Amino acid sequence: MNSSRALAVFDGSGISGGLYTQVNGWAKAAPHWLDDVIKVWSALGLGLFAVFMLYAWWRARGADSAVMARVLATPVVVVVAYGINSVFKSMVEEVRPCAQIRGSVPLETCPGTGDWSFPSNHTVIAFAAATALFFVNRRLGAIAGIFAVLMGASRVWVGVHYPHDVAVGALVGIVAVVALAPPAGRCGPLVDRMRAGALRPLLGPGAMPVVTRGRHSSEAPRY
């Protein structure tokens, strides 16, 4: 073992291995159709968050520029959160539970050495996307948050992550976005300039002026 590493490769089973084993037992006893549904969701479910982002963009074309700025920042902050998580992974180097805990039966192929377990990338991406969308629209963010929880839980169910991998992954995603998303809303003037140029077809006209008691005002539609 290389002592120069910030943290040594370690066995995370002492943190939440018992809960992992219990969930793995539920997965082994569950009906095959349920395991299949969760397996597919775990593998492909992140695509749903991309759909949520596209929906947010579509709706924001008629919203004010601050909203559009937060929408455009959403994929950026998700990528940044993923990058931060990758640093943690390379520092901690936690062995996957499916490779560490004897008798565990993962529903998907257990990742090999070098594809570390802590924290969960899938969970970071899901929670970062949901949190960023919450800054755009609370209802949409709350819906995405439910699916983020399901994504994190599925990673334990399929046997490739400990529960603490998921918990910390959720925290990393949330904290990264909370730090980065608010400043994005202050980029509204930049969006205004972009809307005045060639990108107007993609960004939309923004909030339309309305007449209120004989005078014009700019009012964003309910988003």
Closest CA to 121 of 181, 48, 43: 43
Sorted by where each begins, the domain ranges of the chain are 32-201
Q: Report helix angle 65-92 to 163-184, nearest 10.
A: 140
- For residues 146 and 5, what is the distance between their CA atoms, to the nearest angstrom? 37
- 207 secondary structure, DSSP code: S
Check residue 113 and give its pLDDT. 80
Instruction: Supply the pLDDT for residue 102.
Output: 85
Task: pLDDT tens for the chain, 223 residues: list them.
Answer: 443 444 445 677 788 889 999 999 999 999 999 999 999 999 999 999 999 999 988 887 777 777 878 888 899 999 999 999 999 888 888 889 988 888 888 888 888 888 888 999 999 999 999 999 998 899 999 999 999 999 999 999 999 999 999 999 999 999 999 988 887 777 666 666 666 766 666 656 665 554 445 444 444 444 5
DSSP assignment of 113-130 equals TTS--SS-HHHHHHHHHH
Give the list of residues 6+ apart from residue 77 with CB closer than 8 angstroms, or none: 128, 132, 176, 177, 180, 181, 184
Would you state the structure tokens that stand for residue 196, as one six-digit string? 């005045």
C-alpha 85/C-alpha 87 separation (Å) is 5
